[in-house]
Structure 1
Amino acid sequence: MWNPDEYLKMLYDGIKPASRFSGSSEDEWFAWQEGFRKHFVQLMGGFPEQAADLKPTLLESVDCGTYVRQRVQIQTLEQLFMPMYVLIPKDVEERHRAVIACHGHGYGSRDIVGLNPDGTEKTGDAGYQKNFAVELVNRGFLVVAPELFGFGDRKLTENAKDANSCNRISSFLLAIGKTMAGYRVYETMRCIDYLLANHDVDEKRIGCMGISGGGLVCSYTAAVDERIAAAVVSGFTNTYEASLLSIHHCIDNYIPGLSLEAEMPDVISLIAPRPLLIEAGTNDRIFPVHGTMEAYRRLEAIYQLHDKGDRLGLDLFDGEHEISGRLAYDWLAAHL
């Protein structure tokens, strides 16, 4: 009788999200979108009023046969620098279509560009992220794979040997009114700044693809930055009730007070009516399929409001918490 299970359920059931869309027309939708988008940025901790100089620096360049793999460093905020892989396809005659590839939990950006943690070439099992940045570049996309804050080479020194090390950084940021989500979203936006300033990229054909924690980054970035023309979100789209509020997740997923304002489908719906494909494994244990389907139904109603139902897709595949790719690469090619 002293377990608080029912109490937490009562708390959630008593919430009436203050920022949920309640209109019935496109005009009302766009007015809501503009207002909630600004509010959502503030919930994440806000973004700098003035962008820092990117100061791009080429760290290495490797010929990988069909593409060139560069490692580049940019400044994202004052005194904060981020390495990223830039995969440049060869023999592309038109202006580049580009995709920001956001890795999930693990050892960072090396995992999705076909490398081991020590930088050697990966062989054998490709892991749950399935080298998806390489899959993208081999289909003609220019790909940027940022090293998300708290992973890979961007861990705290004390966590250098830990597989996951974003908890202390996330806790620190929460204590000063910031969030890891806000930092990662802003830094992904800086990747777009870099692309437009340093590569022959078609500004109307920039996409984003991410898995797990990278799915959060991809979906939240697309939600607030309309320069992303199409998004693929894998292993993340759900309801907060069924996933983050019911199953143990890393603290980097949490934004204080967000559930009082909106559910996850409300946040992701900010992408509408731009193209959005959702990947979900039927056996994903941390983003369960019933939550995905509830989110999809809510998103479907928004896209139908815009008469753009064909811009919302779902790859519900027989798998676990992993990249599918069954539809994603062709879907991005079609929409970019």
Structure 2
Amino acid sequence: MGTKRRDFIKQASWAGMGMFAVDLNGIFVPLGTNKTLNLMNNDFEKNQLGKYGPWAKSLFLNKMPSLSFRKEEFSDLSAWKVKATAQVKERMGYLGIEEKPKITVHRVHLFDGLICEEISYQLPYGNPTRAVILKPENVTGKLPAVLGLHCHGGNKYLGLEKICKVSYKLPEYVEEHQQQYYEGSAWANELAKQGYVVMVHDAFAFGSRRVLLEDVPEERRRGIKDFDMGKVENINAYNSWASDHEHIMAKSLFSAGLSWPAVYLAEDQIALDILASRNDVDPFRLGCAGLSGGGLRAVMLGGLDDRIACAISVGFMTTWADLLMNKSHNHTWMIYIPLLPRELDFPEIFALRAPKATMVLNDIEDTLFTLEEMKKADEMLAEIFSKAGASEKYRCTFHPGPHKFDKNMQAEAFEWFDRWLK
């Protein structure tokens, strides 16, 4: 012990004289070596972690993840899917919901050529979930069906209204949301008109499932009241509160041994149960699609539930490295699965559905992602589907413009559903 102590003191004095540098592990390294040159080099790509970014990326993201199907050691697609799916669910803390909810039908009516069913159901926790089911009138037999997954959009006051409608008269703030992200289209309605049963439900923490202010301590409410939501300024105040509250929700779920993706997946699977069990639905022709937060949910549901025959993620595809280095600052807490980047890159969650029909629609000027990493994600997915012998089942396209799911993109998505579900 004495010798080691003397050596440490000697090396420390040399370091003080500029003869040694100290690496990230506290080890003395002689000046002039490549290691010290790298340590002292300040020329690095700027990123949101500063000098810590390259170090964090080098730990696991500069190499192929351990469970990637792109690795030579994986050749059996089915065996890989079983192993990787189990690992994703373990990492996210997936529990599922065994108790099937009772459905309450509130209203059935005709609107714009569609039969509209407004329903709700009670999960084992939280407020009742509101949902809308749309299908063409005067159509018989079992139809293909799609679970429409609404977006995040920084608006937790709204849920299903973001992508569907059951009357011509919409509140102005709903019309504005649909115009901004969907070119004024309630795309769930438009898809239903093409011969589908489409179900849209409020996701966890949105719409009917949002956190009510009356249920949190008064000091956390900022003076906002649930019954004041009739005015736009109060809705905006709630959405601002909910945005700031999101990190509390995520950290609290982590503290419970859960994650936001686990809750999303379980609740979306219950909605899929309801949709698949209908007499007018063919349970072998099920799809899902969504923009942004809905695209995230499409990745999780489409990747981890074999019942989804065709899945479309819009405006939500990149790599873990992109989130680490560039974009986590403008993303929701609803993405992250602890430790999973060591085993699968983000696109590879979606690739777990290979060889089933899979589409990714990107926006070239989408500020939520970097274009280079969106293209890398496409390359990963294409490579996996090719290795699975299913290249024709995967398509990725890049559209001009910012973060959105406009009518041209909707038309491409509807054609993809028609190709694989009809």
* TM-score (structure 2 length as normaliser): 0.73
> Aligned-pair distance for 1:76?
3.6
1:108 to 148, 159, 169: 159
Correspondence for 2:262: 182
State which drifts further: 125-134 or 146-155. 125-134
**Equivalenced residues, count:** 333
- Structure (1/2) with the larger helix percentage: 2
State which drifts further: 80-89 or 197-206. 80-89
State which drifts further: 22-31 or 252-261. 22-31
1:276-300 alpha-carbon deviations (Å, 9 max, x no partner): 1111000000023222211111111
1:143 to 173, 192, 198: 198
Is residue 2:414 matched to residue 1:329? yes
Between the two proteins, what is the percent identity of the paired residues? 23
Which amino acid letter does the alignment assign opposite residue 6 of structure 1? K
SS at match of 1:21: coil
RMSD: 2.5
> Aligned-pair distance for 1:221?
0.7
State which drifts further: 54-63 or 216-225. 54-63
> Aligned-pair distance for 1:311?
0.8
Correspondence for 1:272: 354
Correspondence for 2:22: none
Correspondence for 2:279: 199
Correspondence for 2:376: 294
Matched residues in 1 for 2:210 and 2:253: separation? 14
- Conserved in 1, the CA contact under 8 Å of 2:128 and 2:209? no
- Conserved in 2, the CA contact under 8 Å of 1:243 and 1:291? no
Matched residues in 2 for 1:198 and 1:176: separation? 34
Which amino acid letter does the alignment assign opposite residue 130 of structure 2? P
1:10 to 55, 59, 67: 55
- Conserved in 1, the CA contact under 8 Å of 2:144 and 2:196? yes
Correspondence for 1:45: 93
Matched residues in 2 for 1:203 and 1:245: separation? 41
> Aligned-pair distance for 1:78?
5.2
Unmatched segments (≥5 aa) in structure 1: none
1:305 to 387, 395, 402: 387
Matched residues in 1 for 2:140 and 2:280: separation? 11
> Aligned-pair distance for 1:172?
1.6
What aligned pairs does 1:149-188 form with structure 2 within 5 A after superposition? 149-158=204-213, 161=235, 162-163=238-239, 165=242, 166-188=246-268
State which drifts further: 60-69 or 204-213. 60-69
Matched residues in 1 for 2:414 and 2:70: separation? 34
- Conserved in 2, the CA contact under 8 Å of 1:110 and 1:119? no
SS at match of 1:139: coil
> Aligned-pair distance for 1:216?
0.9
CA gap 1:114/1:291 in 2 versus in 1, 3 angstroms: farther
1:162-201 alpha-carbon deviations (Å, 9 max, x no partner): 2263443222212211111111111111112112323321
> Aligned-pair distance for 1:234?
0.1
